[in-house]
Amino acid sequence: MPKHCVILNPTAGRGAAKSALPEIEAYFAQFGVDYDLILTEFPGQAIGLAHEAGSNGYATVVAVGGDGTVNEVINGLMQASNGGQLTSHLAVLPVGRGNDFSYGMGIPQDLESACKLLVDGQSRLIDIGMVTGGDYPDGRFFGNGVGIGFDTVVGFEAAKLPPFIGGIAGYIIAALKTIFLYYKEPLLRIEIDDEVIEQPCLMVSIMNGCRMGGSFLFAPDALQDDGVLNLCIAGHLTRLQILGLFPKVMKGTQKDHPAIKMPSTQNIQVTALKGKLPVHADGETICEAGQELDIRVLPQKLQLVFE
């Protein structure tokens, strides 16, 4: 049986990944999974580990953690692939807080089923996105999505909350704080394949997956192998309108809201004409106050293990 490189982030899910390790090892023994295990020791380390593993003949690199861990592994595998190596497949064991990438890709959310995929699963090519700008002038890859504006600031605030406040409760508390204390809409110029939009924007979500923030379906119709990114652009909204929009986005029914635009595109350029761009990709900070971004889709670039 081909060997797997398992990269586990012990801090993912505020320690949930480390706590899950005995259970994971028991499932691997039960299913006869042949693997090498590496625990990361600092942020960003999984990029280099995945690059090395992807270049060294492992059948699969398994990201054990949340969306940030998956993002690092994707970046390492894509760097290996772009270097000309025949790189490993990606598998995910979702033990983070949001697990939005795995949810959108149809990966089981329970550990037993996700572990069993390493034996019984298939693989398929999925699209990968790339964002250039901010703190990454040479670009950074993403698997799930890029957030600009409101949801990024909410993420910054959620990270400041005590460890016992997580999940949707943490997001809502952080969102309320952002609504009432911090956020002002920048004036943006958004250039997509066949359209230019200039308007104040509360938020721009550029999605390869369907969900961000653990519960919010910014792109409910997204497909991960169709060669396009799905956008959710929120224009000017009052504080009460923001609160009223939450349930719609959680259900994925925001398309009929007058302040929402949901085009799809292969390429997008975003420029702050007034104000700044706080930006994340898969929950990882791209910049806190950027000015310009270029985002594009790379069609069917990575093999993902799924059901």
Q: What is the DSSP string of 107-161?
A: --SSHHHHHHHHHH-EEEEEEEEEEEETTEEEEEEESSEEEEEHHHHHHHHHHTS
Averaged pLDDT for residues 94-116: 94
Report phi then psi at 86, rounded to 5.
-80, 105
Residues whose CB is less than 8 angstroms from the CB of residue 305 and which lie 6 or more positions away in sequence, other chains included: 60, 89, 90, 91, 92, 117, 118, 121, 122, 123
- What distance in Å separates the CA atoms of residue 26 and residue 294, rounded to the nearest whole number? 44
pLDDT tops 90 at residue 13:
no
| Secondary structure class of 102 (helix, strand, coil) | helix
Domains of the chain: which residue ranges? 4-120, 131-300
Per-residue pLDDT, averaged over 263-268, amounts to 97
Return the amino acid letter for 226: D
Q: What is the average per-residue pLDDT within 264-285?
A: 96
Question: Which pLDDT score is estimated for 1?
Answer: 43
The residues facing 264 across adjacent strands are 230
CATH architecture of 131-300: Sandwich (2.60)
Query: Lowest-pLDDT range, 98-107, 157-166, 173-182, 206-215?
Result: 157-166
This prediction's pTM: 0.93
Residue 97 pLDDT grade (very low, low, confident, very high; cuts 50, 70, 90): confident
One-letter amino acid of 129: G
pLDDT, mean of residues 184-190 = 93
Domain 4-120 fold: Rossmann fold (3.40.50)
* Nearest alpha-carbon partner for 97 in 306, 282, 307: 282
Residue indicated by tokens 């985002």: 295
